[in-house]
Amino acid sequence: MLKLLVSDVLTGFDLWSLHFVCHNVAAVDQCFKPLTQWVSWGKVCKPKSDGGLGVRDLRAVNLALLGKWRWRLISGGVGLSGDIILARYCSLFPSPHLGGRLKDLKRVSCWWRNVSLLGDPDDAISDWFSEGVSKKVGNGHMTSFWFEPWLGGTPLRTQFQRLFLVSTQSTSTVREMDMWVEGQWLWGLRWRRDLFVWELNLMESINQIMDRSTISTTNDYWCWKHDPSGCYSVKSAFLALSRSTTDEVIFSVEEQRLLPKVWKTWAPSKVAVFSWQLLQDRLPTRQNLWHRGVIGDASASMCVLCGLGPESADHLFGSCNQISPIWYSILR
């Protein structure tokens, strides 16, 4: 009943009346804003078309911009500044998609640490950048055999950890793993010791994967999976990060149907935001304040207009005998 009422009200009634209601409830909201978070940040950042508030997550924007720096470093698009960075922080090889040295970041600049970790340590819990890039191998001169995702999107070091530990070629490039023989590329993996029987099974698996690869005379290059062009863009990275964070936000079926419609009205934006909160029961009514511990006495949660029931959203915008005549006159 309440959600149907809001939908009808937004499409046609005196907006000044609703502005009056919004203004007074918003004033109460301002008083308790430091104390209570009414809507989760995930819902606030979710797109309006999906029922969210459409606020851009600045953390995701920052990570996407840092990712652009890392992309320019690994793809060779920084020119002289890239040479200076490599001279200062040493080579990015053998794992350039990880942003730099895997350890010893204590003596580096704050900027380089952020590029290496893609944010602070709290942001580095998910290696979203490495999952979004892949290496297209040509001649294999600039591709690490074990560290870079040139076969199947996952580094061979991750797929075959045991073989990596006993390999004598842990830092070798694809091109260094063997050579052309009579026009045919032959792989030659070398080990510190003889392989055990169960390790020979892993060897067969890695040979099957490598046999599907093609070595040519062209140069190696990086590919960004989240953009059709294959090149990194801040927009595609931001959308990928946003999906990973907002996909965990769950709306009910009815909220998914109604909340996007809130933004398709001619009502002022603050009225639309008020209605967005109302449909989720996220207004600072006395009942909600009592549930959140702001009001300690249950008796203080009663409606101040009629005193016949708790001051909930359903009561204020439906059953209160002091307010219902107003809604009736609006919807008549």
> Is the domain of 282 the same as that of 231?
no
Q: Kindly state whether residues 31 and 147 are assigned to the same domain.
A: no
Residue 47 lies in a domain: no
Question: Whole-angstrom Cα distance, residue 111 to residue 237?
Answer: 19
For residue 123, the model assigns a pLDDT of: 53
Q: What is the mean pLDDT of residues 39-59?
A: 84
Distance of alpha carbon 79 from alpha carbon 59, whole angstroms: 28
Q: 169, 200, 219 — which closes off a domain?
A: 219
Q: Which domain holds residue 120?
A: 56-137+220-248
| Of the candidates 207, 280, 295, the residue with the CA atom closest to the CA atom of residue 31 | 295
Is 46 inside any structural domain?
no
| Predicted pLDDT at 159 | 87
Same domain, 86 and 230: yes
48 domain residue, yes or no: no
% of the chain beyond a pLDDT of 90: 4
- Top-confidence residue, 78 or 284: 284
The answer on 84 and 69 residing in a single domain is yes
Domain count within the chain: 3
pLDDT of 246-302, one tens digit each?
Answer: 556 677 788 888 888 888 888 888 888 888 988 888 888 888 888 888 888 888 888
pLDDT of the residue at 269: 87
Q: What's the pLDDT tens digit per position in 130-187?
A: 788 888 888 888 888 888 888 877 888 888 889 988 988 888 888 888 766 666 667 7
- Contact status, residue 330 vs residue 18, Cβ threshold 8 Å: no
Q: Is 79 left (phi over 0), alpha (psi -120 to 50) or beta?
A: left
Q: Is residue 322 part of a domain?
A: yes
Statement to judge: residues 81 and 101 lie in one domain: yes
Same domain, 305 and 266: yes
Is the whole model's pTM more than 0.95, yes or no?
Answer: no
Judge if 273 and 325 occupy the same domain: yes
Domain boundary among 219, 239, 266: 219
Q: Is residue 51 part of a domain?
A: no
